[in-house]
Amino acid sequence: MRRALTLFITQFLLWAVVSQVNHSLAGRHVYLWVGGLFVTYGALSLSLRSGLLSSFLAGLLLDAVSPVAFGMHALLFAAAHALVFHVRDRVPRDETAGRVVIALFANLTLFLVFSVFLIDDAPTPAAAWPRLIFDLVCSQVFLALIAPWFMALQARTVELSDALAVVYVRRFR
């Protein structure tokens, strides 16, 4: 539970940073989406239960600020987490480059699933696809640039949390 909450804190930081970047890019009509980053580290490094909890909580956070049906992000993040978790033994998950590639594939998949589910709400669905593809390309480039930093942040935060837990147990028990 401690690791899941620790990851959720870093995911909250990611949400805040991406929200501010999107706010800055709003005048240029560009929207960045990095849903794959919310799922990848937990699926590759934690147990199924802890990672799934952090992914689900991150999905609820995004559901709270998005104009979609509540629970959509949470359920799709949980599904993506389960998928990445079950293939993690077959992919190079210990190296940063491998984790970034997995995050890119997870982001691509989640972006396309969301787009397919939500395209019917657009006034002219066929006209929305070029914009969505441009946003996807920008999102993938942005994700590739910040993923090493964010995954290192998550790894160090989990290590710090583990170290503090050991100190707490030794000191107060």
Report which residue type is found at 66: S
**Cβ–Cβ under 8 Å, residues 106 and 113:** no
Output the pTM of the full model: 0.88
Question: Whole-angstrom Cα distance, residue 155 to residue 7?
Answer: 9
Q: Which domains does the chain have, with CATH numbers?
A: 2-172 (1.10.1760)
Question: 127 versus 85: which is more confidently predicted?
Answer: 85
**Which are the contacts of 30, defined by CB distance < 8 A and separation ≥ 6?**
134, 135, 138
The tens digit of pLDDT for each residue in 38-73 reads 999 999 998 899 999 999 999 999 999 888 888 899
172 has pLDDT over 70: no
Question: Whole-angstrom Cα distance, residue 132 to residue 42?
Answer: 27
